């Protein structure tokens, strides 16, 4: 398949709003661990690991051979008794930060993680500020003084 | 010959679009009614010309004219007719042609049905629409011409990617594009208002139906794509937080916010400046979606740098329109007068909260989508931003919005009574709590947040019903009075309540299928069986079958429950000979509890087949919810006040006769 053709298929699929071009078969019967607790951990870990040769698919959903290798690797480390963090460290050491679908909070992702809360606070502050300013700008009529109230009462009484 | 005529029509359309942009703008400046009036026939001519070009391309596809390069690359003589037609927009060049066709359709609609618009506004709107058409027609003619010939003509075409040969996907792009491009109407109205330096409540009344129609189509388009992914990709996923999905989801979020802020502007003459800005933002996000998808920048920043012609062109279009509109906004917005005041606790206040949460949620999606691209371009570091990021940033913004949603319609304009609204919602709260407790009792070891999610869905549905009940005085007035009020309630009120209830339906589906999905991955030899969610599946074997342009191996699974057989599923693997690729067709049984979903995998070494079986509880509610939202929008759109479009009562009948649907 030529690069141009590939690009077009991608572009099209992109237009379709979905990226996973190939149908996936993902986890194969032979891979499943006997211990259900370990298997559940393996699935949870797999969902957070990216299939490196696919578009935004986790290795849990992908049928690419590389994804299979990673799934088996995760399960090997699990049976060897590694903790979840140790396994993630191990995978990142081998394949780089790119493999994590949830980027770690490091200096080069500070902006990524903090942008949303900062935008929320800034927008909320802007709304409060705009509201205050408008209230000041268009203050309603001042309440009547005691004197005026007395006069008003007298006038109504007379009317 | 037909291709050349199509090509020529496209170039003529470019000329007409230039006229449509320039003359009316001069006309409105000089107050020359004749120049101003050019906008109307120009917009209609532009639509006819682009429509002709589109039909020319479609003819080439239908007749399998492989001397046209675009047809050769994306079609094949053995392809079913439906996919020959959908192949027209199933590729870059054709989809851009569809894009401008829809743009011209909206322009023609404004010029034909917009007779009750002030001449000046109509001309300016059509001029802005025309300028967008100029940019995209240039883009097509210079970088993406669908009418290129090849000589000698190949004997047969290369075919269309098989996963795209699917009915839902055939109609997914047109709906998505009507949504994207429909927001150009809000944009053009916003820019026209800025050019005029004048805006009032009537403006919002004209903009709302267009935005609503665009929003409805975008809702349906996104839902179709998600539905397709669910049954076609073979593992029952429906949303992946993929950049291309996000590209369509961001305009949806901003458009939803725009619908609500335009409501405030129409009813209370407030939030004008913000509504204008939001209209610009919404269409900018649509343009950005087009850029992300069309430039190849998502495949990799590197690929974009290697073949940047198209990408740079769209980037320039984005720069001109977004930058230009924002500059115009900064310059002219201070001229717009501020409208009605309101207290923080009021209908307006609740809609401001809606806008705050929706736009920040949209910003979260934007950051998550663009950050990896920006980081790679600037530092070369590659990171991935996937579902876990969006679950942590997007979901916490949306949950408060969902909880607050039933309160909004129960608050009065200007100054509302939160306590009174809360009292009216007591029944909804009680029902939701009861549902939460029941669900907790049924799933004692399940994820503990899930029952709360189901509770929120129920809260939204009962809350929407409460609004209608309250407005017709269901429990306070006589039956006759309630009936009279039910009939007199504006359709927009029903539409809004339906759309809100649709969100609730969708939430229930999302939560249930995410939390309680069951899965079995087994190797089955013929005769073997597997149990899931009370069903028993027995594998009967695999048989070959020949389709129109594929060969397939069809598995047979007999499904029984409580010992009695009640249906047979046929998942298959299709091999498309021309395209040399395979697709997986899942076997799905739709029960009232959820979907039983069977996927046939490869044959293993010992002769058994790898089989994956899922039970997806209540999963269909996701798309039923989207349909309810769409239907809510349609009901609202049929409201007389929106249909007539203008506040001129005297002209109502005439406008309905000529312009109404």
User: Block means of pLDDT (10 residues each) for chain A, length 159 residues?
Assistant: 46 40 55 82 87 77 80 89 90 88 89 94 92 70 78 78
Residues of chain A with Cβ-Cβ distance to B334 below 8 Å are: none
Measure the CA–CA gap between B230 and B244, rounded to whole angstroms: 16
Closest CA to B335 of B195, B185, B127: B195
| pLDDT at residue number A37 | 85
| pLDDT at residue number A138 | 60
Q: Which residue does chain B place closest to A120, by CA atoms?
A: B360
Residues of chain B with Cβ-Cβ distance to A115 below 8 Å are: 363-364, 367, 371
Measure the CA–CA gap between B652 and B640, rounded to whole angstroms: 9
List the single residue in A19, A108, A127 with the smallest CB-CB distance to B379. A108
Q: Which residues of chain B have pLDDT under 70?
A: 299-307, 338, 640-661
Quote the domain boundaries for residue B560: 519-617
| pLDDT at residue number B630 | 97
To the nearest whole Å, the CA of A67 is away from the closest chain B CA by 15
Contact B222, B248 (CB under 8 A): yes
Closest CA to B92 of B330, B310, B270, B325: B310
User: How many interface pairs between A and B have CB atoms less than 8 angstroms apart?
Assistant: 198
Residues of chain A with Cβ-Cβ distance to B604 below 8 Å are: 29-30
| pLDDT at residue number B211 | 93
Q: Which residue does chain B place closest to A16, by CA atoms?
A: B173
| pLDDT at residue number A153 | 85
Tell me if A20 and B233 make a contact (CB, 8 A cut-off).
Answer: yes
Tell me if B382 and A61 make a contact (CB, 8 A cut-off).
Answer: no
CA B322 to chain centroid: 21
Q: Single out the residue in B165, B181, B211 at which a domain terminates.
A: B165
Residues of chain A with Cβ-Cβ distance to B90 below 8 Å are: 12
Tell me if B247 and A21 make a contact (CB, 8 A cut-off).
Answer: no
Residues of chain B with Cβ-Cβ distance to A133 below 8 Å are: none
Tell me if B385 and A101 make a contact (CB, 8 A cut-off).
Answer: yes
CA B119 to chain centroid: 31
Where b means 16+ CB within 10 Å and e means fewer, A38-68 reads ebebbbebbbbbbbbebbbbbbbbbbbeebb
Q: Is residue B631 part of a domain?
A: no
Hey, what CATH class is A24-104 in? mainly alpha
Residues of chain B with Cβ-Cβ distance to A124 below 8 Å are: 356
As a 3-state breakdown, chain B gives helix, strand, coil percent values, each rounded to 5, of 65, 10, 25
List the single residue in A15, A32, A102 with the smallest CB-CB distance to B173. A15
Tell me if B234 and A29 make a contact (CB, 8 A cut-off).
Answer: no
| pLDDT at residue number B290 | 83
Contact B479, B463 (CB under 8 A): no
Q: Which residue does chain B place closest to A104, by CA atoms?
A: B383
Q: Is residue B231 part of a domain?
A: no
Tell me the domain boundaries of chain A. Answer: 24-104, 114-158
Q: Is residue B185 part of a domain?
A: no
Structure token digits, residue B75: 């079609």
> What is the ipTM metric for this complex?
0.85
Q: Is residue B379 part of a domain?
A: no
As a 3-state breakdown, chain A gives helix, strand, coil percent values, each rounded to 5, of 65, 5, 35
Query: pTM score > 0.95 for this model?
Result: no
Q: Which residue does chain B place closest to A3, by CA atoms?
A: B303
pLDDT in tens, B226-277: 998 888 877 778 888 888 889 999 999 999 999 999 988 888 888 888 999 9
To the nearest whole Å, the CA of B118 is away from the closest chain A CA by 31
Contact B47, B104 (CB under 8 A): yes
Measure the CA–CA gap between A25 and A21, rounded to whole angstroms: 13
pLDDT in tens, B127-157: 999 999 999 999 999 988 999 898 888 888 8
Q: Which residue does chain A place closest to B241, by CA atoms?
A: A56
Residues of chain B with Cβ-Cβ distance to A120 below 8 Å are: 356, 360, 397
Tell me if A19 and B163 make a contact (CB, 8 A cut-off).
Answer: no
Measure the CA–CA gap between B210 and B222, rounded to whole angstroms: 18
Tell me if B368 and A112 make a contact (CB, 8 A cut-off).
Answer: yes
CB atoms within 10 A of CB B444: 7
List the single residue in B229, B367, B522 with the smallest CB-CB distance to A18. B229
The domain tally of chain B equals 2
Rounded to the nearest 10 degrees, the angle between the axes of helix B450-471 and helix B426-442 is 150
To the nearest whole Å, the CA of A35 is away from the closest chain B CA by 15
CA A121 to chain centroid: 18
Tell me if B158 and A5 make a contact (CB, 8 A cut-off).
Answer: yes
Q: A51: number of CA atoms within 13 Å, CB side?
A: 24
Tell me if A8 and B158 make a contact (CB, 8 A cut-off).
Answer: no
Q: Which residues contact B642 (CB under 8 A, 6 or more apart)?
A: B205, B208, B209, B212, B492, B636
Tell me if A112 and B92 make a contact (CB, 8 A cut-off).
Answer: no
To the nearest whole Å, the CA of B119 is away from the closest chain A CA by 34
Q: Is residue B650 part of a domain?
A: no
To the nearest whole Å, the CA of B164 is away from the closest chain A CA by 8
Closest CA to B155 of B217, B275, B67, B254: B67
Residues of chain A with Cβ-Cβ distance to B381 below 8 Å are: 97, 108
Residues of chain A with Cβ-Cβ distance to B71 below 8 Å are: none
Q: Is residue B117 part of a domain?
A: yes
Tell me if A116 and B222 make a contact (CB, 8 A cut-off).
Answer: no
Residues of chain A with Cβ-Cβ distance to B232 below 8 Å are: 23
Closest CA to B262 of B339, B330, B180: B339
List the single residue in B163, B164, B387 with the smallest CB-CB distance to A101. B387
List the single residue in B161, B241, B612 with the smallest CB-CB distance to A12. B161
To the nearest whole Å, the CA of B31 is away from the closest chain A CA by 36
Q: Which of A9, A18, A115 to mutate to test the interface with B (most CBs of B within 10 A)?
A: A18
Residues of chain B with Cβ-Cβ distance to A28 below 8 Å are: 521, 601, 610
């Amino acid at each position: 398949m030529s690069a141009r053709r590939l690009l077009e298929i991608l572009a099209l699929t992109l237009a379709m709003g979905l990226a996973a071009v190939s149908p996936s078969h993902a986890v194969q019967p032979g891979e499943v661990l006997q211990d259900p607790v370990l298997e559940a951990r393996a699935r949870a870990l797999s969902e957070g690991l990216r299939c490196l040769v696919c578009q935004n698919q986790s290795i849990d959903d992908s049928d690419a051979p590389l994804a299979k290798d990673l799934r088996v690797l995760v399960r090997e480390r699990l049976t060897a008794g590694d903790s979840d963090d140790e396994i993630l460290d191990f995978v990142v050491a081998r394949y780089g930060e790119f493999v994590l679908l949830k980027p770690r909070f490091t200096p080069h992702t500070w902006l990524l993680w903090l942008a949303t809360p900062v935008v929320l606070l800034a927008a909320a502050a802007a709304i409060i500020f705009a509201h205050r300013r408008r209230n000041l700008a268009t203050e309603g009529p001042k309440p009547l003084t005691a004197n005026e109230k007395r006069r008003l009462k007298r006038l109504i009484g007379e009317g | 010959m037909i291709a050349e005529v199509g090509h020529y029509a496209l170039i003529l359309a470019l000329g007409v679009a230039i006229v449509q942009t320039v003359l009316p703008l001069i006309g409105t400046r000089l107050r020359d009614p004749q120049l101003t009036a050019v906008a109307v026939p120009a917009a209609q001519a532009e639509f006819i010309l682009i429509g002709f070009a589109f039909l020319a391309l479609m003819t080439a596809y239908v007749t399998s004219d492989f001397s046209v390069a675009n047809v050769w690359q994306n079609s094949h003589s053995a392809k079913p007719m439906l996919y020959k037609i959908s192949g027209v927009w199933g590729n870059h060049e054709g989809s851009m042609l569809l894009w401008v066709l829809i743009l011209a359709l909206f322009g023609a609609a404004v010029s034909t049905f917009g007779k009750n618009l002030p001449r000046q506004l109509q001309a300016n709107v059509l001029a802005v629409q025309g300028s967008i058409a100029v940019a995209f027609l240039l883009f097509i003619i210079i970088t993406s011409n669908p009418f290129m010939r090849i000589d000698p003509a190949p004997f047969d075409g290369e075919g269309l990617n098989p996963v795209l040969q699917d009915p839902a996907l055939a109609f997914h792009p047109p709906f998505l594009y009507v949504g994207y491009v429909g927001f150009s109407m809000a944009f053009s109205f916003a820019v026209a208002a800025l050019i005029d330096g004048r805006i009032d409540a009537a403006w919002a009344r004209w903009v709302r139906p267009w935005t609503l129609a665009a929003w409805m189509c975008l809702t349906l388009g996104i839902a179709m794509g998600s539905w397709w992914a669910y049954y076609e990709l073979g593992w029952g996923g429906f949303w992946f937080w993929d950049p291309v999905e996000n590209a369509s989801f961001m305009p949806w979020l901003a458009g939803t916010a725009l619908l609500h802020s335009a409501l405030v502007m129409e009813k209370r003459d407030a939030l004008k400046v913000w509504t204008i800005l939001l209209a610009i933002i919404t269409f900018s996000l649509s343009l950005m979606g087009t850029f992300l998808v069309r430039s190849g920048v998502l495949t990799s920043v590197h690929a974009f740098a290697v073949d940047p012609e198209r990408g740079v062109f769209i980037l320039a279009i984005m720069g001109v329109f977004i930058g230009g509109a924002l500059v115009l906004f900064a310059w002219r917005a201070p001229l717009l007068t501020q409208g009605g005041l309101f207290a923080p606790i009021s209908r307006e206040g609740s809609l401001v909260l809606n806008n705050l949460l929706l736009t920040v949620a949209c910003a979260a999606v934007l950051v998550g989508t663009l950050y990896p691209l920006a980081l790679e371009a600037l530092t070369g570091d590659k990171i991935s931003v996937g579902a876990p990021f969006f679950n942590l940033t997007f979901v916490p913004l949306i949950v408060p919005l969902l909880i607050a949603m039933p309160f909004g319609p129960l608050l009065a304009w200007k100054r509302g009574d939160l306590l009174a609204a809360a009292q009216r919602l007591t029944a909804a709260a009680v029902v939701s709590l009861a549902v939460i407790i029941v669900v907790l009792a049924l799933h004692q070891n399940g994820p503990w947040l899930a029952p709360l999610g189901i509770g929120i869905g129920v809260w939204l549905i009962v809350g929407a019903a409460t609004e209608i009940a309250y407005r017709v005085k269901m429990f306070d007035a006589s039956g006759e009075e309630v009936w009279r009020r039910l009939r007199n309630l504006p359709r927009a009120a029903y539409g809004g309540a339906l759309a809100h209830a649709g969100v609730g339906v969708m939430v229930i589906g999302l939560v249930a299928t995410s939390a309680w999905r069951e899965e079995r991955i087994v190797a089955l030899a013929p005769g073997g069986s597997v149990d899931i969610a009370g069903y028993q599946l027995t594998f009967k074997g695999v048989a070959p079958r020949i389709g129109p342009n594929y060969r397939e191996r069809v598995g047979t699974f007999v499904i029984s429950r409580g010992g009695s057989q009640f249906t047979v599923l046929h998942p298959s693997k299709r091999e498309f000979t021309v395209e040399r690729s395979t697709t997986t067709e899942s076997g799905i049984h739709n029960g009232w509890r959820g979907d039983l979903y069977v996927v046939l995998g490869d044959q293993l070494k010992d002769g058994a087949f790898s089989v994956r079986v899922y039970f997806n509880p209540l999963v269909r509610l996701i798309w039923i919810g989207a349909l309810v939202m769409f239907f809510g929008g349609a009901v609202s759109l049929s409201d007389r006040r929106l249909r007539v479009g203008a506040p001129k009562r005297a002209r109502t009948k005439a406008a309905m006769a000529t312009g109404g649907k």
